[in-house]
Amino acid sequence: MAFPKKKLQGLVAATITPMTENGEINFSVIGQYVDYLVKEQGVKNIFVNGTTGEGLSLSISERRQVAEEWVTKGKDKLDQVVIHVGALSLKESQELAQHAAEIGADGIAVIAPFFLKPWTKDILINFLKEVAAAAPALPFYYYHIPALTGVKIRAEELLDGIQDKIPTFRGLKFSDTDLLDFGQCVDQNRQQQFAFLFGVDEQLLSALVMGATGAVGSTYNYLGKKTNQMLEAFERKDLSLALNYQFCIQRFINFVVKLGFGVSQTKAIMTLVSGIPMGPPRLPLQKASREFTDSAEAKLKSLDFLSFADLKDGSLEASS
């Protein structure tokens, strides 16, 4: 019976955790948020409680409630809901994995523990294996994000023989710019049906060329539609149009990166674009400044990202 689901592919939005002005989780907007992703952005997969969702800044009880709300509100609307269950405590991670299975999530993902760290591939595999075993019927994804975890074990090395150790292993979320490592993950695992999900939105086109089967990212919350157009152009082998879309997306990301871009800014941008209040982030993050939001808004407008007007071939060049 295990894994009736089809392979996770296409865009996966790393969901924001909406909060109220006093820092509590704002569950009341999650239903609207699901509809927005599906209808306005054409995004039908989500990745909950990850980096963008401030998963590691939430309590275990909050993480369970958030996961449950997304699964409930996504029912019959979303294709797949993957829950990030990584934690420093193996016990907590296992508890969250088991909970994800109980509520009917479609998969779980785990980052490397990042305080007391695994120093070898085998130790990291052992940790992941123990978490995966707590949800033996759920597809398992390793979430590789070395810049944030400080665990630099190459993904290519980790994947070597991983299914013998973790039978539920189904794919990799790769949030790093090392396309040699990413390409070799794909190249060395052609026999498997793994999902190779890229996590650096501004470089997605390069990863598609390397064999990415999908992407998980924060910008798909509000640039999902535009990115889907890039995926379609790539599918049709229209590389120059695909590149036009990637450059258009890069112009925006490059602009905000220079202003200082992270989860707080993602919350502000999503509020602006979707009209759904995402609220402030939780400490240690700080709310994005007014100046940031104003500049981002002006840029979004100049790139036509706010009106969602359909761009025709060629009109992209003009919008910078």
Ligand X SMILES: CC(=O)N[C@H](C=O)[C@@H](O)[C@H](O)[C@H](O)CO
Among the options 44, 173, 267, 299, which is catalytic? 173
Q: Restricting to residues 48-67, which ones interact with ligand CC(=O)C(=O)O according to CB under 6 A?
A: 50-52
- 287 tagged catalytic: no
What percent helix, strand, coil does the chain show, rounded to 5?
50, 10, 40
143 part of the active site:
yes
Residue placing its CB nearer to ligand CC(=O)C(=O)O in the complex, 48 or 166 = 48
Tell me, letter by letter, the H, E, C secondary structure of 250-282: HHHHHHHHHHCCCHHHHHHHHHHHHCCCCCCCC
Q: Name the region of 275 (left: φ>0; alpha: ψ -120 to 50; beta: rest).
A: left
Q: Which of 87, 212, 216, 316 binds ligand CC(=O)C(=O)O (CB under 6 A)?
A: 216
Annotated binding residue 216: yes
If one asks whether residue 199 binds ligand CC(=O)C(=O)O (CB under 6 A), the answer comes out as yes
Tell me the site size for ligand CC(=O)C(=O)O, rule CB under 6 A. 9
| Closest by CA position to 13, among listed 48, 51, 63, 64 | 48
**Does the annotation flag 271 for ligand binding?**
no
Residue count (the chain): 320
Contact call for residue 219 and ligand X (CB under 6 A): yes
Distance CA 194, CA 196 (A): 6
- Distance, CA of 247 to CA of 209 (rounded, Å): 16
Catalytic residue among 36, 141, 142, 143: 143
The residue among 114 and 238 lying less far from ligand CC(=O)C(=O)O, judged by its C-beta, is 114
Task: State the catalytic residues.
Answer: 143, 173
Q: Residues within the annotated binding site for pyruvate?
A: 52, 216
